[in-house]
Each structure stands twice: as C-alpha cells, then as structure tokens.
C-alpha cells in the first residue's frame, strides 16, 4: 500500500526503514526514505524482501494516490515520527 512503512530484509539497506512510494504489478514496489533513496530515484524492491508494517502515513498515501507531489522532507519527517515497537527474538 502506498505510504506504508516497510523494513528491508535483504541487500545493502537491510534493516532500514522506508516508505512505499510506488507499485509495480509483478510483485515489486518502489521505496524511498528521503535521504539515501530520494523520491526522484526511488529503489525498486521485491515485496518478498520487505517486512511490511501495519503503519501507514495517511498524508503521504493520500497525496501519492491523488497524483500530488510529495517531498523528500515529508518522507524524512514521517520516518522520524514513526517509531516501530521493538520486538525481541521469539516474539510472535
């Protein structure tokens, strides 16, 4: 879902938090964080290589679905505000 927070499971960016900023029909999405991966050059990532969170930034989602522009600063702010709950090994 657009605007959803995800964590990378694979690659150099493993363990980093991103926002989904685009979709592709064959199981791929585009992710960005506004710093290392900016909106203008969003990273294409296989959904299998992402940990999907239940958190969605509604402002970013609404803007992306309406075709309005979102800035890198908005992504950085959204990621700074979002704090995932820490999970311990073995927790379900």
Higher pLDDT, 88 or 77: 77
CA distances from 27 to 49, 57, 61, 90 (A): 10, 21, 19, 28
pTM greater than 0.75 = yes
What is the rounded average pLDDT of the residues 60-65? Answer: 92
What is the rounded average pLDDT of the residues 33-57? Answer: 92
Name all domains of the chain by residue range, CATH numbers in brackets: 4-81 (2.30.30)
In three-state secondary structure terms, 61 is helix
Higher pLDDT, 91 or 40: 40
Q: Any residues with CB less than 8 A from the CB of 45 and at least 6 apart, and which?
A: 8, 11, 28, 29, 30, 31
- Whether residue 82 has pLDDT greater than 90: no
Q: How confident is the model at residue 84 (pLDDT cuts 50, 70, 90)?
A: low
- Name the pairing type of β-strands 4-8 and 17-24: antiparallel
String of b and e for 6-29 (b: at least 16 CB within 10 Å)?
bbbeeeebeebbbbbbeeeeeeeb
Q: How confident is the model at residue 44 (pLDDT cuts 50, 70, 90)?
A: very high
**What proportion of the chain, given as a percentage, has pLDDT over 70?**
89
């Amino acid at each position: 879902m657009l605007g959803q927070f995800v964590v990378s499971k694979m690659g150099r960016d493993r363990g980093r938090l991103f926002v989904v900023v685009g979709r592709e029909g064959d199981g791929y999405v585009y992710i960005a964080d506004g710093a290392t991966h900016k909106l203008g050059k969003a990273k294409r990532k296989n959904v299998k290589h992402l940990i999907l969170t239940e958190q969605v930034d509604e402002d970013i989602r609404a803007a992306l679905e309406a075709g309005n522009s979102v800035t890198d600063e908005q992504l950085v702010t959204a990621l700074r505000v979002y704090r995932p709950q820490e999970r311990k090994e073995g927790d379900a």
